[in-house]
Amino acid sequence: MVERVKATDAALDLIERLKEKHGPLLFHQSGGCCDGSSPMCYEEGDLMIGSQDVLLGRIGDTPFYINKKQYDYWKHTQLIIDVVEGRGGMFSLEGVEGKRFLTRSRAFTDEEYKELKESIES
């Protein structure tokens, strides 16, 4: 099965470290404003997920959401969550670690997109 969101090993390692410190987490792909388009990491319950948020999948056994309008623009791409050195979003948990999550992406192949569409329809 094709994944809409996945994480690099470095991101998975940081997620595990954050879970040890903070407990269960969740991600939300920011759509701009204060934090650009960074993937934001929160303690579970610190961000209210609404009816306009889409669950893309799970990374490191952590749910990853995106707003429906942003999803409509990015539905043809796989999000790949990575980690780089530096300060991230001001509200995201990893900021104090001296690292930040970063979203990379790639377009799905025609075959992958067809598989994704068929999985939704069935």
pLDDT score recorded for residue 111: 94
DSSP secondary structure code for residue 4 in this structure: S
Q: How many CA atoms lie within 13 A of 65 on its CB side?
A: 18
pLDDT score recorded for residue 99: 92
Residues of the chain with pLDDT under 50: 35
pLDDT score recorded for residue 68: 93
| Separation of alpha carbons 18 and 110, rounded Å | 36
Domain boundaries, the chain: 5-119
31-41 pLDDT, tens digit each: 765 545 789 99
pLDDT score recorded for residue 89: 60
Domain 5-119 coded CATH 3.30.413.10: no
pLDDT score recorded for residue 10: 97
pLDDT score recorded for residue 36: 54
CB 40 within 8 A of CB 113: no
